[in-house]
Amino acid sequence: MRSQPASSRHGSRGFTLLELLVAMAIFAIISVLALGGLNAVATQQSLTRSNLDDLARLQRAFDSLERDLGQLYPRPVRDELGQDREAALLADGRDDYLLRLTRGGWRNPAQLPRGSLQRVQYRLAERQLIREYWPVLDHPLGMEPISQVLLDGVDAVQVEFLDADGQWREQWPPLSALNDPAIPRPRAARLTLELDGWGEIQRLVEMLP
């Protein structure tokens, strides 16, 4: 019987145990690296989505403030006791609200029996910026406003108003014209929000005469 050529014997040789172990180790390392990269991409996508959601909420909050201030209507309201009258725009850091105002342009797509004016206020409570409104302008004592949380993680809010003399004022109406019903509306409002993770953000709102 003829012996098989040496080249044929070498060609049919299988993998040794050491070669299999090395191949499995390399495959395991590549798998770990691939999984780590996939996790990193998924984490980055999640962070990006979260940042975009936060940015969208911030933009909606500023849009709400701009719409309300931009549609300020010179209509004072009766206080909750029905005696004194509140100015169309009130802002005083000593109260439990940031600002309170009467705005026009309240849309009514459902054709409800109400007017187009709305009494609105903004509050900062438990690091939340809250917008509230009443169904009627001259709301009686005990009528609770309808609330909506606009932003979370708000550390501070400052609202300033530019008067006719070009002075920025934190209180409105100014002390010098507190009881003057003919005081002109502010020319502009400056909104400054201090947010967790964002720092200080400022927006200037023109208030049409």
Measured from the Cβ of residue 203, the count of other Cβ atoms closer than 10 Å reads 15
* pLDDT confidence bin for 197, thresholds 50/70/90: confident
Please give the pLDDT value at position 196: 87
Please give the pLDDT value at position 140: 78
Please give the pLDDT value at position 179: 65
What is the 3 state secondary structure string of 2-38?
A: CCCCHHHHHHCCCCCHHHHHHHHHHHHHHHHHHHHHH
Higher pLDDT, 204 or 92: 204
The CATH classification of domain 66-206, taken from the options 3.30.160.340, 1.10.1060.10, 3.10.610.10, 3.20.20.210: 3.10.610.10
What mean pLDDT is reported for the chain?
83
Please give the pLDDT value at position 32: 78
Lowest-confidence region among 58-67, 73-82, 147-156:
73-82
Range 197-202 average pLDDT: 90
Q: For 33-58, how does the pLDDT look when each residue is reduced to its tens digit (9 = 90+)?
A: 777 777 777 676 766 676 678 888 88
Please give the pLDDT value at position 133: 95
Residue 5 pLDDT more than 80? Answer: no
SS3 of residue 176 by DSSP: helix
Please give the pLDDT value at position 132: 96
Q: How far is CA 51 from CA 33, 35, 48, 54, in A?
A: 27, 24, 5, 5
- CA 56: distance to chain centroid? 7
Q: Please name the amino acid found at residue 151.
A: L
Structural domain boundaries of the chain?
A: 66-206
Percent of the chain with pLDDT over 90: 40
Please give the pLDDT value at position 24: 80
Higher pLDDT, 181 or 106: 106
Please give the pLDDT value at position 83: 67
Q: 121 with 99: CB under 8 angstroms?
A: yes
Q: DSSP letter string over 24-86?
A: HHHHHHHHHHHHHHHHHHHHHHHHHHHHHHHHHHHHHHHHHHHHHHHTB----EE-TTSSSEE
Q: For 138-174, how does the pLDDT look when each residue is reduced to its tens digit (9 = 90+)?
A: 887 788 999 999 999 999 999 999 998 899 999 998 8
Higher pLDDT, 11 or 46: 46
Residue 13 pLDDT more than 70? Answer: no
Q: For 100-136, how does the pLDDT look when each residue is reduced to its tens digit (9 = 90+)?
A: 999 998 887 877 778 889 999 999 999 999 999 998 8
Q: Please name the amino acid found at residue 135.
A: P
